[in-house]
Structure 1
Amino acid sequence: MEKFTTISSRVVVLPVDNIDTDQIIPARFLKTTDKAGLGANLFADWRYLPDGSPNPDFVLNQPENQGAKVLLAGDNFGCGSSREHAPWALMGWGFRAVISTTFADIFRNNALKNGLLPVIVDAAVHRRLMEQLKANPEAHVTIDLAAQHLVLPDGEAVAFPIDPFSKTCLLNGVDELGYLLGLEEHIRRYEAQHPATAS
């Protein structure tokens, strides 16, 4: 998993509330257990026309948004059914962070475990960010995970919450198993000092 430290990026704005996981990655693409290629199916029902051609009006298909690493969404992002494919698809397209006022708990947990940072801001900050990006669509935001700051285009730094364990894993580019494997020497030392006893 790639380490998450600080990113500065343009922002893809998708101001829709209650975007569920079936909209993020439709159920017909869940047959795979491989992350590869899922980015092509991100928001598939909005992104493509019935004939399979790209919908030119959808934000992901607009040339200026190519390469952006941050998605600004509406409230309650990632609601609906549990599927790791949702953060896989977002990361497969190139996103490293999603900004919203709230996230569904299961989506948020799946995102954190897979290296995608959910950035929670209050409604006032969300509104200011929307206004700044509307005024200057080419503006960048900066996300500093170590400091837990989102820096808006006007330079305002806003704190965002994240639990300490998830923060540690993201900063070090490891999942839960990788974190435990990193403690192998400590585990061996403990086992040597506390030999198992027969019951």
Structure 2
Amino acid sequence: MQAFTTLTGVAAPLPMANVDTDKIIPARFLKSISRFGFGKHLFANLRFREDGSENPDFVLNQEPYRKAEVLIAFENFGCGSSREHAPWALLDFGIRCVIAPDFADIFHSNCFKNGVLPVQLPRAVCEQLIEDAKMGPNARVTVDLERQVVVRPNGEEIPFQIDPLRRHLMLNGLDDIGQTMQHVGAIDGFEARQKSAQPWLYR
């Protein structure tokens, strides 16, 4: 998993609440267990018309937001089904951070496991950031996980809180497997001792 330390990039404004995982990645595209290739289907029902052409009114089809790395939305982002494909699609599109007043629990957890940083800030602050984002290419926002601040285009720093363990894992690019592999020496030692004491378990 790619580490998340400090990100400076274009923020896309999505002033919507209750954005569910089927809106993020519609169920008809869940045909693979690979983490890659879902970005082209991100928000498909909003990005594309029925004939497959782009909807020019949707923010991710507009410049400079086609290359957005931060998404700013409203309450209950990621509600609905527990599909891990939702953070996969965000990450594959290029979005590494979502800022919202709150998140659905499972989506929130899945983000940390896949290198997408969910930042929780009050609704009023999200509204300010959305207005900043409407400034276009000049509205580059910085998300500093080390210092736990979001820096607005005007330089104002907004603090946020992240669980210390999750912050450590994100800063070091450790998913569940990576976290386990940090203890590979102890694991190998246990297996060696067990193989010596209970060899029949390994036949």
TM over 0.5: yes
Matches of 2:186 and 2:161, distance apart in 1: 29
Give the fraction of aligned pairs with identical amino acids, expressed as a percent: 49
Q: Once the two structures are superposed, what CA deviation does each residue of 1:60-110 show, in whole Å capped at 9, x if it has no partner?
A: 111321222000112110001100000000011000000000100010001
1:91 partner SS: helix
SS at match of 1:66: helix
Return 77-86 or 137-146, whichever deviates more: 137-146
- Structure 1 residue 147, shift from structure 2 partner: 1.1
Once the two structures are superposed, the pairs formed by residues 56-71 of structure 1 within 5 Å of their partners are: 56-71=56-71
Superposition pairs of residues 153-164 of structure 1, within 5 angstroms: 153-164=153-164
Rounded Cα–Cα distance in structure 2 between residues aligned with 1:123 and 1:52: 34
Q: Name the SS for the 2:90 alignment partner.
A: helix
- Cα shift at 1:187: 4.6
Deviation at 1:161, TM superposition (A): 1.9
Would you say how many aligned residue pairs link Structure 1 and Structure 2? 195
Distance in 2 (CA, whole Å) between partners of 1:187 and 1:47 is 47
Q: How does 1:1-199 map to 2 (within 5 A)?
A: 1-134=1-134, 136-138=135-137, 139-188=139-188, 191=190
Unaligned runs of 5+ in 1: none
Q: Which runs of 4+ in 1 moved over 4 A?
A: 186-189, 195-198
Aligned 8 A contact 2:74 2:123 in 1: no
Report the RMSD for the aligned CA atoms in angstroms. Answer: 1.9
Instruction: Tell me if the contact between 2:97 and 2:119 (Cα under 8 Å) persists in the aligned partners.
Output: yes
Point out the more displaced range, 65-74 or 111-120: 65-74
8 A contact 2:25–2:85 mirrored in 1? yes
Counterpart amino acid of residue 136 in structure 2: P
Counterpart code for 1:175:
D
The TM-score with structure 2 as length reference comes to: 0.89
Unaligned runs of 5+ in 2: 199-203
Q: Is contact 2:3-2:171 (8 Å) kept?
A: yes
Cα shift at 1:186: 4.5
Q: Distance in 1 between matches of 2:65 and 2:172?
A: 28
